[in-house]
Structure 1
Amino acid sequence: MNVLLVEDDPLIAMGLLQALQQNAYTVLHAPDGTRAEGLLRANDIDLIILDLGLPDMDGLELLRWVRARQSRVPVLVLTARDGVEQQVLALDQGADDYMEKPFDLRELEARIRALLRRSHNLSTDEVSLGALQLSPFQRTATLNGERLELPAREYEILEILALSAGKVVTKARLAHRLSREGDEVGDNAVEVYVHRLRRRLKESGLAIRTQRGAGYVLENAG
C-alpha cells in the first residue's frame, strides 16, 4: 500500500516514516503542499496523512484540491489544530478521519488500517494459499505457521501476487507499485525481489512462474 505523508516537521515525519515502513507500507513524503500535488499526480496513492499547517498552503487547500480531482483516496488529517470546529471543517471538506497532535502511534496505525479496509472494500480475513497466509492489513505473512520476515518491497510483491493468484501480474505493474520519490524501480530490480521471494517460498508448495513477455503468476508448484 502506498501512503503519502504530507508533513513539514522533520522529526515527526522521520518518526512516522520509520513506523509506517516497519509495517510494510511504501511511504512517500512531501514536506509541503506543492510537492504533495506532484506526488499525487505521478503515483497511485492508497492513503494520505495530511498535516494542515504546511509552509506553502493550508492543508485544507490541498484537501479541496484532492477532492476537486474526484479522487476518493482516504485522507487522515493529523494536525496540532484542536477543537470541534476544526474537526468539523476538515471532515466537511472531505477528510475521512481527524487526529490531533500529540497522538498515540498505535491508534494512528489502527485508524490507517480501518480506512484502508473501507476504501478497498476488504475484510480483515487472511488470504490463504496452501501453507502461506497473508494478513493484508496487518502487513504480515506466515509460512507453515511461522512468520516470514519480509522487507517492505518483498511483502508488497507477494501481496499483489497472492491477491491475483493464478493470474498474470505484469512487471510494469509491480515496478510502478514499488516506485517511490527519487527511487524508481525498474524491471531488473523487480526480478531481484522475485528471485528472493522464490527462495523464501521454496517449501510452501507455491511457485512464482515467469510468463515470458507478460509478467509473473503465483500458482501451485508442480
Structure 2
Amino acid sequence: MQPNVIYLSDASFDSATCSAGIGVKNLFSGESMSLGIQAEGINEAEEIALLCAIEHAYTHGHRNCVFVYDNLNIDTKILKGFYGAMFEKIQFMWFKREYLGEVDRLAAMVRSKTVKMPHLDLLKRHIPGLNDQILVTMFMPMVRGDTYGFLCTISQTAPLYKELPKRMSNANKTVLALLCQMGSSTLRTILFERFGVHKALKHTVLENFLIQIGFDERWIEEARYECRALVCA
C-alpha cells in the first residue's frame, strides 16, 4: 500500500457576489493550489474544494489519501461511497478551522473581488433565473460527440451546433467545467457520475472562453426559446 498522502482543503465565500475562492494543499509534496469559482453558498464552495483535492489526488496517482476539511455539513459518506473504488484507502477527517489557516488564506486571496469580467458577470446575474435545462441548452451547441448526446438527455433539447473558434480544441471540457461551476448541485452530481470530476476553472479562464465564443444576452434568449415547451409544461 502507498504511504498516506494528506490533503487540506478550504473555501472562502462572499455572499454579496456569490464568488468563492478555494485552497488545496498536498502535505506530502508541499504543492498548493487555489482558484476562484461561483457557488450558491459556503457549503457548496467547501464541497467543491474537497472535490478538487480528490481530483488532484486521483490524477497524480495517490491512492492512499486522507482529506482534511472543516465543514461538518459536507456528507463525506456519499463521497466515500462514490470515490472509494478509485482509491486503495480513502479517509475524510474533520479539523477545526484554525488548523486549516494556510488553505483558508489561499482561498481568501484568490476569491474574486473587484476584477471586472463583463461576460462572466452577465452570466452570473442571470443564473438565479435559469434552471439547469436552460443553462445546459445555452452552452451545449459548443460541445461535440457523445458529450452533446448526453447533454441532450439532460436538457431535453437539441439546439444546432455553433461554430467553434479556431484553435479551440478543449470546448467539451471547458463547457462541462462551466456547467459544474454554474449549475445546481443536482446537475453537478449528474455530470460527475457521467464524466468524472472536472477541474474547476479560474474566473479568468471562464471569461476568456465566453469572449472567444461571443457570449451575450442573445445566448440566454435563444436557450429560453429552445426550452419554451418545457417551461410551458
Q: TM-score range by the shorter chain?
A: under 0.3
Normalising to structure 1: TM-score of the pair? 0.25
Higher relative contact order (CA 8 A, sep 6+): 2
Normalising to structure 2: TM-score of the pair? 0.24
Q: Which of the pair is proportionally richer in helix?
A: 2
